[in-house]
Structure 1
Amino acid sequence: MDRLLIGVAALAGGGAVALAALRAHLLAPRLDAAALAMLDTAVTMQGWHALAMLAVGILLPRWGGAPLRVAGIAFAAGTVLFCGAVLLRALAGVSLGPVAPLGGALLIAGWLALLVAAAARRG
């Protein structure tokens, strides 16, 4: 699972950079302020959680344990749901209802699972 999570982190990180470039060079003149703010939020969250997934992927072989696996899954699923829903809203004006809040809740759960993994760690 560690290699898969590091691969997902790489895709998320690269995607965040690509979206930031699109935002700066192509989308800025075409979107209104509210859509640009949503886009900025999605890109920021995707970038930070790419780093979180990378950290979990690196820690998994060393620490192991269910809480760390839960953190990785929650970060990956939450990033897709939250960022995907916010991007869709910003770029196409389409709302997916409760998908973004669900994704956000998964991101928070990932951080809490990481806390549990760290607290359970001995040494």
Structure 2
Amino acid sequence: MSTKFFLQAGAVLGILGVALGAFGAHALKPTLEASGRMDTFETAVKYQFYHALALVLISILLQNAAITSAKWYQWAGYSFLGGVIVFSGSLYTICFTGIKAFGAVAPIGGTLMIAGWVLLFLGAAKQ
């Protein structure tokens, strides 16, 4: 099973969330405020954190999951991870580069995050 992978992925996203959040609040604050991207950056960090915790939850659920629900939880975990990479990653890219075209990619990440929650629900229903 992927319990270790999802636990480690959640931990890494949490570490990076704290580091990026602190970096944004202090070192990048003037730049982000000048470009009007402080809200965008905070949204990226916030969703990264939510889904870091969701990955930790997936890891815990997988430890005791029946075979019928485990596959759903695994897909949920992969969806959460992909969603963070695409959604938060595109927002960070906008903040750091100013290239607004990356905003078109964010909904794909958001869709992956939503899919992850649906898959988590389905896994619970199969439990």
**What range describes the TM-score normalised by the shorter chain of this pair?**
over 0.9
What is the Cα deviation at residue 17 of structure 1?
0.3
Ranges in structure 1 where 5+ consecutive residues have no aligned partner: none
In the other structure, the counterpart of 1:35 is 37
Calculate the aligned-residue CA RMSD, in Å.
Answer: 1.3
**Corresponding residue of 1:112:** 118
The aligned length equals 121
**TM superposition shift of 1:34:** 3.0
2:58/2:77 contact within 8 Å kept: yes
Confirm whether residue 51 of structure 1 aligns to residue 60 of structure 2: no
Contact 2:80 2:116 in 1 (8 A): yes
Report the residue type matching 2:79 in the other structure.
Answer: A
* Structure 1 range deviating more: 26-35 or 14-23: 26-35
**Matching residue within 60, 70, 93 for 2:98:** 93
TM (norm. structure 1) is 0.92
Sequence identity of aligned pairs in percent? 36
**Do 2:94 and 2:103's aligned partners in 1 also have CA atoms closer than 8 Å?**
no
Structure 2 counterpart of 1:24: 25
Match of 1:82 among 70, 87, 105: 87
Per the alignment, residue 68 of structure 1 pairs with 73
The alpha carbon displacement at 1:14 in A equals 0.5
Task: Note the C-alpha offset of 1:97.
Answer: 5.2
How far the C-alpha of 1:2 sits from its partner, in A, is 1.0
Superposition TM-score, scaled by structure 2 size: 0.90
> Structure 1: which 4+ aligned runs deviate by more than 3 Å?
none
